[in-house]
Chain A
Amino acid sequence: MALAGLGVGGCRRWPREHIVPYAHRPEGRMPGIPEHYASCFDFGGIAQGVLVTSNDGRPTKIEGNPEHPDSRGASDAFTQAAVLDLYDPDRSRSVTYGGKPSSLAAFKEWLSMYLPEHGEGIAVISESSSSPTFHRMQRAFMRQYPQAVWAEHDPLANTNEREGLQHAFGGNWMPVHDFSKAEVIVSLDADFLGAGPMQVANTRGWASGRNPKNGTMSRMWIAESALSITGANADERQAMRPALLAQITEQLDSHFTRMGIGIQDSHHLNSEQHAWVEKMVADLKHAGKHGLVVAGASQLPITHYLAAYINEKIGAVGTTVSYRTLEGGGNTSIADVAKSMKAGDLHGVMIIGGNPAYDAPGDLDMAKAIASMRISVHLSGDANETSEVCKWHINRAHWMESWSDGRSADGTLCIAQPLIQPLFGGLSPAEFLAVLSGEETTDSHTLVRTTFDPSADRWNAPWRSAVHDGVVANTATLETPPVNRTWSGGLYKVGGTGSKLPAVVFVPSGSVWDGRLANNGWMQELPDAITKLTWDNAALLSPKTAEEYGLKQGDMVNVSVGGNSVKIVVLPVPGTADDVVVLPLGYGRTFNGHVCTGAGVNVYPLRNSKNPWVDTARWEPTGDTYPLATTQMHFGIDTIPGRGTQERLPLLYREGTLQQYKHDPDFAKHVGHTLHSLSIFDEQQFKGAKYKWGMSIDLSTCTGCNACVAACHAENNIPIVGKDQVLMGREMHWIRIDRYFAFGEDGHGGWDGNNLKSVAIQPLTCHHCENAPCEEVCPVAATVHDTDGLNVMVYNRCIGTRYCSNNCPFKVRRFNYFDFFRREPLRSTGFLQVQPDYYVKTQSGGKTLRAMQFNPDVTVRMRGVMEKCTFCTQRIQKVKIATKNAWVKKSPAQKSADPRVAIQDGSILTACQQACPAGAIVFGDLMDKNSHVSTLHDDSRSYEMLSELNIKSRLKFLARLTNPVDGGASTEGSRH
């Protein structure tokens, strides 16, 4: 504990150390003052650097680690939600054998009896990891059991890219892109801004290249089948079925690499598409070393190979892209393991993390294969589908409960320190391997430190600073290897080629990723960036295709691929390629979790191990329907509300092209005609105000990644309300991301619902209007203004008339229709609507496990009160108090010099701002004319929503700028 002052006090796993009540308060440790510890966790094989806030030993909030090269202090939704997983009441709480509680000792004894000494017939299936310690243990294991086979399994791993780059460079490589340097980005179905281990780094890079003020404005081209976050933010986008993407690849090849790859295909680009690609090629050539070609996971190895090749050709390597070799990996593939399991060559399987029984491609029939093994062990945080078919389940320690390490995208070494004594014991993967291979020391702390430096003891200075910073500087391992000019892998073929059948495209879920976050309430209720769908996945079709098949939102269809088929609900999404069905993965978990049960449909069975991303499908309507809980209503373009939306969209969401901006920098101010609204009374000027809090959101760089929504959830103790309540429109998000589809004209004064022009993505918090309409109508003064201009909501004063919500033009107020913290999250809760199972009484022990996550600085609201965004007033207060304490200590002279107790700009970060990887959200003091937010409010692009109401928002938007080719001549009309 003595190290608390140095910030490593969270290391509560020195041998034989336990949490004990303080007899004396350790120096530098102030009860009630939260502390921050650097750590990291492995996600999709890349270490995510985090800074965890711990309140009196309870990890409550995760931020990005500013030292970490990928994060730089920002984070994504998954990182934000990780803290809730720690307190998931469904976490497994002990080692079990055949479902019955057992012990680690019993397991070890069992091992010594049954594990063949050379590992004959034993397979290890591990999830992808970047941890050097894990790899060290892996090598140790393989030394111990040389005849065992090892397969790495990650359902969303970019296996095609690995293979493509193997052809290009030989060995295991991954590309590391630097979008900040890219002026022209060509994406072949690559959703690099979407959810994934690289989202934060990519988004930050991309955003920094989108600011015309400092002369950088990249152009992003994308051709994709599903409408992805990247597509929504692209300047030039074409939606096309996978087979046509192959045609684009060929066209690129003919211009740059001239491999002369042939394609037999019945699908061909139409002239318009062809011309579009030509423009893209020209643009790419022109960009030279500042160009960049990115291929998505769905693309076949050849495409990845070509991408690497083209990037080398245009000289982008080293500028916009570099590469890194990957450690670890296995000596076989999961497909082969499955095959030899069926063949009976294997009789045992050790599964480290992951959930192959649930997420392995359907053709492998993994669950049955595992069940047939004589030896089957599963290390897992929750007793999931795989544990259910394994004999042994070893409960895994959460990453916040054990030591570990890992490598960031660029290879920088990261150290993970634990934040809390394991709540239910458990082993980390490295520890588990150490146990298997019979190491003498198996505690993660020693293992990790030994990997770091075998000679280092716990007091070793480099080690301690590494732990303190969470990263080890200058350990990046980026390289720029030359591309091997000959393609060694057969002829080019793409899934679905030639077939007239509709294509099926699998995409990861932006909410639950591969399914690992399915039992995380925040993620289940997180509206999908594009569909705004919560608690479910759905088969996404283009409106045109849906119409052809006579399907509308909520209809069920039977989608069958090859032999397997699933029943899933349809959700038409503009911008989806025609004749394509998009199936998000990760839903339909079947293990009995409080949250995930009944949420969505598992589509993994439809995947095949050859090409798990693209295939051809059949579907027929089943006739029945299923309710979809979207947080935004969908009105057909031919309905009054639909047309009304299109009418007012240009006023609410202002966007323009780079050309417009150059020609008229404050074009955003000339949209609509806001009359000069004069007050009939002289407005309160916040007499004696010392600060004037304001916020600015840049619509140009906001991608809609949802990190802010999740961060707000975690920071402000926002309840999850469950699907039934979302269906009724009672979701509680304080910050929401509005998504509108702007359509093109249909020729006769209306709009064409099949002609998507642009996707408007607009985050919305409480505007803290200076003339807040909500306040005057409250009969009990439960919402009033403080002198700093915050529109404060006084919970204990609120009686719940809900009038304020009615009078809020932005409808950002949220009402507690029930005691949501006393309700079951997902399942409909019967007559009395109260079923506190999840939050209050969890199964055996851990009485109020969920409640440990609560932020002690924020009230947990009861039933019947209104709530809304507070601009994170608790964070403001914290900084204010600190500053004022410092100010009081100043000399009179200094005091008079600074009577306002100026708070340093940027020292207050709202939760959403801190999380935002694009830096689109800026908060600060408008009183200080030089503060970042002030300059943004004065920016020419800055505009105020619904200013005609004379409400004087403290939240202003920066109009979105796009950079379409030839000034968007083609799309001008639709934009305004």
Chain B
Amino acid sequence: MTGVTSNVAREDLYGLAAEFSDTPGIFHAAEQTHAAGYKWFDCLVPFAVHGLDRAMGVKMTILPILVFFGGFTGLLAACVLQVFTNSLQFDIWAVVPLVGYQFDVSGKPFLGAAAFVPIAFEMTVLFAALTAVFGTFFLNKLPMFYHPVLKHPALARATDDRFYLVIEAKDPKFNRDDVEAFLLSLNPDSVIELEK
């Protein structure tokens, strides 16, 4: 297969994409690109191809840590809320301009820890879940409604049945001709030029 004619001005060039039609193809391409020492490259795939991230040398995300702290915050919030509103001792807190309520309920102790467990649990889960989802969005910089790869009509199939490997122009090792040659060496179905 021959190279693609360059019709994008150098400064407008976002990068080059190689198209593959099956998972082994993209997998090996990713492995070699990583081996070749490219940093700014990505794979666009319709579903999470197993092990591809490791093949690309993607580092483990910090999301789990965020989620842990999210959950912990929830737990703390729940305990503070319940203890403060249901079993706060006035005399201790007299200085603080906050009000707590000691409802004398069924003769139960004001600090009915057992009764506070369900809500504590629920709020832990709630906060953790929120962190997990919005954490991903944050780390993935989503929503992002404009992106060069979304612009090129061919790459639309990246969400359907095609697999693309994109090497970005901002990669220090980027040199149009070398990259093109490199991509062709991965024998893709085609190589596509991406405009910024």
B81 to chain A, nearest CB (A): 14
Enumerate B89-136 residues with CB–CB distance to A below 8 Å: 101, 103-109, 112
Q: Is the Cβ of A773 less than 8 Å from the Cβ of B104?
A: no
Residues of the B chain whose Cβ atoms lie less than 8 Å from the Cβ of A682: 109
Asked if A27 lies at the interface with its beta carbon under 8 angstroms from chain B, I say no
Are A775 and B105 in touch, CB under 8 angstroms?
yes
Q: Are B108 and A785 in contact (CB under 8 A)?
A: no
Contact B103 A784 (CB under 8 A): yes
Across the interface, name the chain B residue whose C-beta is closest to A777.
B106
Cβ-based interface call for A771 (8 A): yes
**Which of B103, B104, B112 has the most chain A CB atoms inside 10 A of its CB?**
B104
Closest Cβ–Cβ distance, residue B113 to chain A (whole Å): 10
In the complex, chain A residues whose CB is within 8 Å of the CB of B108? 681, 683-684, 771, 776
A-chain residues with CB within 8 Å of residue B103 when the two chains form the complex: 775, 781, 784
Residues of B within 8 A of A785 (CB): 104-105, 107
A144 to B109 Cα, complex, angstroms = 81
- Asked whether A772 is an interface residue with its Cβ less than 8 Å from the other chain, the reply is yes
B62 CB, min distance to chain A CBs, angstroms: 39
- Chain B residues in 8 Å Cβ range of A778: 105
Contact check, B104 vs A776: say whether CB atoms are below 8 A apart.
no
Interface residue ranges of A771-824 to B (CB < 8 Å): 771-773, 775-776, 778, 781, 784-787
Q: Encode A763-775 as 1/0 by CB contact (under 8 A) with B.
A: 0000000111101
Interface size on A, residues (CB 8 A): 19
Interface status of A686 (Cβ within 8 A of chain B): yes
Give residues 120-165 of B contacting A (CB, 8 Å): none
Neighbouring B residues of A772 by C-beta, 8 Å: 106-107
B107 A684 Cβ-Cβ under 8 A: yes
Chain B residues in 8 Å Cβ range of A787: 104
A421 to B139, CA, bound (A): 83
What does the 1/0 interface line of B39-70 toward A look like (CB < 8 Å)? Answer: 00000000000000000000000000000000
Cross-interface CB contact of B109 among A681, A686, A781, A786, cutoff 8 Å: A681
* A contact residues around B104 at 8 Å (CB): 684, 686, 784-787
* A952 close to chain B: CB less than 8 A: yes
Bound-complex Cα distance A715 to B41 (A) = 84
A773→B106 CA distance, assembly (Å)? 6
CA of A952 to CA of B101, assembled, Å: 24
Cβ–Cβ < 8 Å partners of B101 in chain A: 781
Contacts of A784 in B (CB 8 A): 103-105
Q: Smallest Cβ distance from A392 to chain B, in angstroms?
A: 64
A771–B112 CA distance with the chains assembled, in angstroms? 14
Residues 676-687 of A, flagged 1 when their CB comes within 8 A of B and 0 if not, give 000101111010
Give chain A interface residues in 530-583, CB to chain B under 8 Å: none
Interface residue ranges of A102-131 to B (CB < 8 Å):
none
**Which applies to chain A's interface (DSSP): helix, strand, loop or mixed?**
loop
The answer to whether B109 and A771 have CB atoms under 8 Å apart is no
Nearest B residue to A771 via CB reads B107
Cβ-defined contact, A776 with B105, below 8 A: yes
User: Shortest CB–CB separation between residue A904 and chain B, in angstroms?
Assistant: 27
Closest-by-CB residue of B relative to A682 is B109
From B115, which residue of chain A is reached at the shortest CB distance?
Answer: A776
Nearest CB of B to A708, in Å: 28
B106 touches A775 (CB 8 A): yes
Shortest Cβ gap from A270 to chain B (Å): 56
Which chain B residues lie closer than 8 Å to A683 at the CB level?
107-108
Cβ-closest chain A residue relative to B110: A684
**How close is B55's CB to chain A, nearest CB, in angstroms?**
54
A530 vs B103: C-alpha distance in the bound complex, in angstroms? 41
Nearest A-chain residue to B113, judged by Cβ: A681
Residue contact B105 to A770, C-beta cutoff 8 Å? no
Closest to A687 in B: B104
Nearest B residue to A807, CB-CB: B106
In the bound complex, CA of A679 to CA of B106 (Å): 11
Closest Cβ of chain A to B82, distance in Å, is 13
Asked if residues A681 and B105 are in contact (CB atoms below 8 Å), the reply is no
Q: Cα distance A60–B109 when bound, in Å?
A: 42
Are B107 and A952 neighbours in the complex by a CB distance under 8 Å?
A: yes
Residues of chain B contacted by A684 (CB below 8 angstroms): 104, 107-109
Residue of B nearest to A680 (CB): B114
Which chain B residue lies CB-closest to A783? B105
A residues in contact with B107, CB < 8 Å: 679, 683-684, 770-772, 785, 952
The residues of B that contact A771 with a CB separation of less than 8 Å are 106-108
- Residue numbers in B under 8 Å from A775 (CB-CB): 103, 105-106
Chain A CB count within 10 A is highest, among B104, B106, B109, B112, for B106
CA distance A446 to B153 in the complex (A): 110
User: Considering the chains assembled together, what is the distance between the CA atoms of A686 and B103 in angstroms?
Assistant: 11
Chain B residues, Cβ within 8 Å of A952? 107
The CB with the most chain A CB atoms within 10 A, among B101, B105, B107, is that of: B107
Query: What residue in chain B is nearest A773 (Cβ atoms)?
Result: B106
| Bitwise interface map of A from 13 to 35 toward B, beta carbon under 8 Å scored 1, else 0 | 00000000000000000000000
Closest Cβ of chain B to A453, distance in Å, is: 60
State in angstroms the CA–CA spacing of A283 and B105 once bound together.
Answer: 55
The chain B residue sitting closest to A778, CB to CB, is: B105
Most B C-beta atoms less than 10 A away, residue of A679, A683, A776 = A776
What is the chain B residue whose CB lies nearest that of A952?
B107
A954 to chain B, nearest CB (A): 12
Q: How far does the Cβ of B91 sit from chain A's closest Cβ, in whole Å?
A: 12
- Per-residue CB contact flags for chain A residues 169-211 toward chain B (1 = under 8 Å, else 0) read 0000000000000000000000000000000000000000000
Which of A679, A778, A781, A786 has the most CB atoms of chain B within a 10 A radius of its CB? A781
Distance in angstroms from A955 CB to nearest chain B CB is: 16
Q: In whole angstroms, how far apart are the Cα atoms of A684 and B111 in the complex?
A: 11
- Which residues of chain A from 652 to 692 have any CB-CB distance to chain B below 8 Å in the complex? 679, 681-684, 686
Q: How far is the CA of A622 from the CA of B108 in the complex (A)?
A: 59
Tell me which residues across on chain A come within 8 A of B112, comparing CB atoms.
Answer: 681
B105–A781 touching, CB < 8 Å: yes
CA–CA, A684 and B87, complex, Å: 13
Q: Find residues 676-732 in chain A having any chain B CB closer than 8 Å to their own CB.
A: 679, 681-684, 686
Residue of A nearest to B112 (CB): A681
List the B side residues contacting A770 at CB < 8 Å.
107
Q: Cα distance A681–B114 when bound, in Å? A: 11
B192 → A minimal CB distance (Å): 61
- Residues of chain A within 8 A of B105, CB atoms compared: 775-776, 778, 781, 784-785
A684 CB to closest chain B CB, in angstroms?
Answer: 5
- Report Cα–Cα, A784/B110, bound state, in Å: 12
List the B side residues contacting A776 at CB < 8 Å: 105-106, 108
Q: How far is the CB of A938 from chain B (nearest CB, A)?
A: 22
Nearest-neighbor residue (CB-CB) of B109 within chain A? A681
By beta carbon, the residue of chain A nearest B104 is A785
The CA-CA distance from A220 to B160 in the complex, in Å, is 96
What per-residue 1/0 map shows which CB atoms of A733-748 lie under 8 Å from chain B? 0000000000000000
The smallest beta-carbon distance between B100 and chain A, in angstroms, is 13
Bound-state CA distance A775–B104 (Å) is 9
CA distance A787 to B112 in the complex (A): 19
How many Å lie between the Cα of A772 and that of B109 in the bound state? 13
In the complex, residue of chain B having the shortest beta-carbon distance to the beta carbon of A770:
B107
Bound-state CA distance A198–B105 (Å) is 46
Q: Which residue of A lies closest to B101 (CB)?
A: A781
When C-beta atoms are compared, the residue in chain B nearest to A684 turns out to be: B107
CA distance A775 to B108 in the complex (A): 10
Q: Tell me which residues across on chain A come within 8 A of B106, comparing CB atoms.
A: 771-773, 775-776
Pick 14 A–B contacts, CB within 8 A, sort by A: A681-B112, A682-B109, A683-B107, A684-B107, A684-B108, A684-B109, A686-B104, A771-B107, A772-B106, A775-B106, A778-B105, A785-B105, A787-B104, A952-B107
Interface residues of A (CB under 8 A from B): 679, 681-684, 686, 770-773, 775-776, 778, 781, 784-787, 952
Given contacts A771-B107, A775-B106, A784-B105, 8 further A-B contacts (CB under 8 A): A686-B104, A770-B107, A771-B106, A772-B107, A775-B103, A776-B108, A785-B105, A787-B104
List 7 tightest A-B contacts by C-beta distance, closest first: A683-B107, A776-B106, A771-B107, A785-B104, A775-B105, A684-B107, A775-B106
